[in-house]
């Protein structure tokens, strides 16, 4: 009996210690947990629309550039879904009163949103780089680019997805090692409670770098686009190659607008957020499981992915019809015209 009382007292002390170290106000923990839900739900809905619209239309699905866009949208969809269920889990933990019950680090890592996040965070940022590289190649070597097949797109997407999977596996080392070393972490499962600080900082810095790189690639691309537009504008009549170039340029302009949104809503907030959180870790100012105030900056990347569906819808007739066909099947007819065809304005 004395042993049972000792265990209960130890568990109670552990629970109090975790609670005090983590968050003094359940209301604040609830607000921060709830903030994940709308951003996650919005990103999930918007990106599944893009994926379904592109994959259901053969005229869009067979084009390599839009397969790459599908790869980006799918990664954003997974990221949004993980954010949504992660927010629901943390809200349930706070409302249910078990947010600060002690659990092992491995328990937290085994939660679906925890390991999905490790993959999607890397995949989304590196798919942005793939989109920029694809646009650079379409403008820089257009004649050669036209000869590329869908295999080219599959290789790009597969490489990013595979790298993200391998990278995410390293996140499991720390929670497995710490499972028996640490007395327990709060069941709210804040990310830096069960993920190695080194791995967390590495993943955030590398994804910030990828987001910035995807934007920087557009600087030389703008110069190439201006030259090509000048050459096409000087022609008396358009050849088939000119029409295909113009179609590609329209897609590039659309993704250029998306790139500006990436800079404002992803690259800069991600970089500054990571800098602020790293500073808090070094100085011990972090709010633990309640999360850093800089955490909110990472939500802006979900707005960036949501923006894409409205951008594609307003700038491309084929995409607009494909999205309408999702909600009115059989009533919207999509011709075999090229997505972003030459008669559209840039």
In this structure, the chain runs to a length of 346
Per-residue tokens: 37 = 């839900």
Nearest to 288 by CA among 187, 190, 217: 190
Name the one residue in this structure whose structure tokens are 């840039």: 346
Residues β-bridged to residue 103: 185
25-327: CATH topology: Rhopdopsin 7-helix transmembrane proteins (1.20.1070)
- With contact defined as beta carbons under 8 Å apart, do 222 and 316 qualify? no
- With contact defined as beta carbons under 8 Å apart, do 225 and 144 qualify? no
- With contact defined as beta carbons under 8 Å apart, do 15 and 102 qualify? yes
- With contact defined as beta carbons under 8 Å apart, do 221 and 134 qualify? no
pLDDT of residue 152: 93
Using the Cα atoms of residue 159, residue 129, residue 109 and residue 282 in order, give the sign of their dihedral: positive
Residues β-bridged to residue 186: 102
Alpha helices in the chain (DSSP H): 2-22, 26-34, 36-56, 58-61, 64-96, 105-110, 112-140, 142-147, 150-169, 173-178, 191-194, 197-216, 218-233, 240-262, 268-283, 295-315, 317-327
Report how far residue 238's alpha carbon sits from residue 343's, in angstroms, rounded to the nearest whole number.
11
User: pLDDT 10s per residue in the chain (346 long)?
Assistant: 433 433 333 334 344 344 444 444 566 778 888 889 999 999 999 999 999 998 888 888 888 888 999 999 999 999 999 999 999 999 999 899 888 899 999 999 999 999 999 999 999 999 999 999 998 888 788 888 888 989 999 999 999 999 999 999 999 999 998 888 777 888 888 887 888 888 988 888 898 889 889 888 888 877 777 676 666 555 545 555 556 656 666 677 777 787 787 778 777 777 776 666 666 656 655 544 455 556 667 777 788 888 888 888 888 788 888 898 888 876 655 554 443 443 444 4
Nearest to 80 by CA among 113, 34, 109, 107: 113
What angle (nearest 5°) sits at the alpha carbon of residue 340, between those of residues 44 and 58?
65
Distances (CA, A) of 181 to 15, 90, 99, 184, 251: 17, 25, 21, 9, 53
Residues β-bridged to residue 102: 186
Name the one residue in this structure whose structure tokens are 């900056």: 297
Sketch the domain layout of the chain as residue ranges.
Answer: 25-327
Report how far residue 202's alpha carbon sits from residue 208's, in angstroms, rounded to the nearest whole number.
10
Per-residue tokens: 248 = 């590609």
pLDDT of residue 286: 52
pLDDT of residue 4: 40
pTM: 0.80
């Amino acid at each position: 009996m004395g042993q049972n009382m000792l265990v209960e007292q130890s568990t109670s002390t552990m629970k109090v210690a975790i609670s005090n170290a983590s968050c003094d106000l359940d209301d604040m923990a609830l607000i921060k947990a709830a903030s994940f839900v709308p951003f996650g739900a919005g990103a999930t809905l918007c990106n599944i629309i893009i994926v379904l619209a592109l994959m259901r239309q053969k005229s869009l699905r067979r084009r390599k550039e839009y397969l790459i866009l599908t790869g980006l949208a799918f990664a954003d969809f997974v990221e949004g879904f993980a954010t949504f269920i992660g927010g629901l889990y943390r809200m349930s933990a706070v409302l249910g009163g078990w947010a600060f019950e002690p659990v092992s680090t491995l328990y937290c890592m085994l939660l679906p949103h925890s390991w999905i996040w490790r993959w999607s965070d890397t995949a989304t940022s590196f798919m942005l780089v793939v989109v920029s590289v694809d646009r650079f190649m379409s403008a820089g070597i257009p004649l050669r680019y036209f000869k590329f097949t869908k295999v080219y797109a599959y290789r790009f997407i597969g490489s990013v997805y595979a790298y993200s999977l391998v990278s995410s596996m390293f996140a499991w080392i720390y929670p497995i090692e710490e499972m028996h070393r640490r007395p327990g972490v709060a069941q709210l499962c804040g990310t830096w409670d069960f993920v190695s600080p080194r791995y967390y900082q590495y993943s955030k810095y590398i994804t910030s770098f990828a987001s910035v790189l995807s934007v920087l690639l557009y600087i030389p691309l703008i110069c190439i686009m201006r030259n090509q537009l000048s050459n096409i504008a000087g022609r008396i009549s358009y050849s088939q190659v000119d029409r295909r170039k113009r179609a590609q340029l329209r897609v590039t302009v659309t993704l250029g607008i998306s790139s500006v949104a990436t800079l404002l809503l992803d690259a800069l907030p991600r970089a500054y957020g990571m800098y602020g959180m790293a500073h808090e870790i070094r100085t011990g100012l972090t709010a633990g499981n309640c999360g850093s105030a800089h955490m909110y900056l990472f939500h802006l990347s979900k707005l960036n992915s949501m923006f894409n569906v409205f951008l594609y819808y307003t700038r491309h007739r084929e995409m607009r019809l494909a999205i309408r066909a999702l909600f009115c099947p059989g009533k919207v007819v999509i011709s075999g015209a090229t997505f972003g065809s030459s008669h559209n304005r840039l």
